[in-house]
Amino acid sequence: MSQVLPCTIQLRNNVLVQYYDTSYLDFKRGGHTATLKQNQKSKIKEKIKELNKVKEVENINDFEKKYKKVYDKHKQSLASKNVELKDFGILSNAQKKTLKKNVENLINLVTINYDRKKIVKNQKFIAFVTLTLPSSQKHTDTVLRKSLVRFIENLTKTYKVQHYVWKAETQKNGNIHFHLLIDRFIDWQVIKSLWNKQLFKLGYIDFYQKKMKSFFREGFKLLPNDKRKKEQQIKAYESNLASNFTTPNTTDIHSLKGVSNITNYIIKYMTKLEPNKRSIIGAVWGANNELKKINYPTVTDFDFNGLFTDLINLVENEKQIKVIPQTVDFVSLFVGKIYKYIRKKYKNLWLHIKSHYNLQLQKSLIPFKDIVKNIRSIVKPLNIVFPTYEQTVFNFN
């Protein structure tokens, strides 16, 4: 039997990732000290800090250009120290991977534990929302991100939302908007009301009201650049008039009915490139800390339950699963509809995946004080027995 490195297989919806344990190899491991924050100080970075203190702007597009100019100078100054910063206002490759992981795990956590017999409102549910501005952006992206945080806090404290992922993007006019993935069903009117309350504090509802009253001062007329049919615009006008133009439609709940692969749909939506729009200033995405800590389910090569053998059979027998040539040492990729095949043909593997996400759900449901109490009640001196066994190592290659 040939000697190979031990490995771990990560089970994702559409990918198997095989990581080899390189701790057995003898080579130097060390970080790049130039990437530490304390080694990235410069006079230019102080200018960035000053720009970060700005709250209100005359024109967000002009402010973005000014900010980008300073950022690019800072990036160039660090390049001389062999420190490479990501391009301004976009997701780095590492951020894309982390964002995808959080989206995928949130969706798996909900869908794998979803019970069709239960009422939607009484269990986890996938909701995908877009939050927009009703008038021209007059505040920096930082200010509006803080409004988003307060909006999410309201959802978590009052409406039982536990896990969420958000992504910031911009419209053609430069206005920021947010895509938000949450794990609870919430009525669209509640979503709109809560978001509008945040916008009211910043004056956007007043801006919208003045603009609409001026436009409709002589009664109804079609809005320019509005793609809705005339009947739809009339209905919206009557609704707005009844509220004295104080309830703008600033939210959009995406229907996921008929979407064959929700995970791929949302990941594509939240990671798409938009080169002809202004860049986001500051954080581009975020998620709750508990979700960030959730990892994909894994299987190791010293598994004794036959799971690793099942994975070998899966890769060898399913012709639709393709091996991707290695671009990184000690990593192999197998791409295909992994969960679909496992769910159909490999019962133990599917139970392993379900158990992984069921455990994450149970962890999140137990209050921390109860966890501490339980641990204290069961911790006692333990006699640990180390069994001896022969390890059989499998290799996909």
How far apart CA 177 and CA 167 sit, in angstroms, is 9
CA atoms 342, 343, 346, 347: torsion sign: positive
CA-wise closest residue to 195 among 242, 147, 157? 147
CB 247 within 8 A of CB 196: yes
Q: Residue 24 has what pLDDT? A: 56
CB 72 within 8 A of CB 279: no
For the stretch 328-337, what's the b/e string if a residue is b when 16 or more beta carbons lie within 10 angstroms of its beta carbon?
eeeebbbebe
Q: Residue 186 has what pLDDT? A: 95
Residue 396, pLDDT > 90, answer no
DSSP 339-387: HHHHHHH-HHHHHHHHHHHHHHHHHHHS-HHHHHHHHHHH---------
How far apart CA 179 and CA 128 sit, in angstroms, is 7
Give the list of residues 6+ apart from residue 38 with CB closer than 8 angstroms, or none: none
Helical H runs in the chain?
43-52, 60-79, 93-111, 141-158, 188-201, 204-215, 230-242, 262-271, 289-292, 307-317, 338-345, 347-365, 368-378
State both tokens at 311: 């994975």
Residue 183, pLDDT > 80, answer yes
**Amino acid identity for residue 61 in this structure:** N
How far apart CA 180 and CA 132 sit, in angstroms, is 11
- pTM for the model stands at 0.84
The number of beta carbons lying within 10 Å of the beta carbon of residue 4 is: 12
CA atoms 100, 102, 103, 108: torsion sign: positive
Residue 397, pLDDT > 50, answer no
Residue 39, pLDDT > 60, answer no
Mean pLDDT lowest among 73-77, 181-185, 358-362: 358-362
Residue 200, pLDDT > 90, answer yes
How far apart CA 273 and CA 269 sit, in angstroms, is 9
Residue 269, pLDDT > 80, answer yes
Residue 299, pLDDT > 70, answer yes
How far apart CA 196 and CA 7 sit, in angstroms, is 50
State both tokens at 108: 């798996």
Residue 367, pLDDT > 60, answer no
What are 247-262's pLDDT values in tens digits?
999 999 998 888 888 9
Mean pLDDT lowest among 140-154, 304-318, 382-396: 382-396
Domain boundaries, the chain: 7-27+297-378, 33-79, 126-283
State mean pLDDT over 93-119. Answer: 92
State both tokens at 366: 């137990």
When pLDDT is cut at 50, 70 and 90, the band that residue 86 belongs to is confident
Residue 383, pLDDT > 70, answer no
Question: Mean of the per-residue pLDDT values for the chain?
Answer: 85
Q: Residue 368 has what pLDDT? A: 47
CA distances (Å), 278 to each of 2, 44, 51, in order? 54, 22, 17
**Amino acid identity for residue 211 in this structure:** K
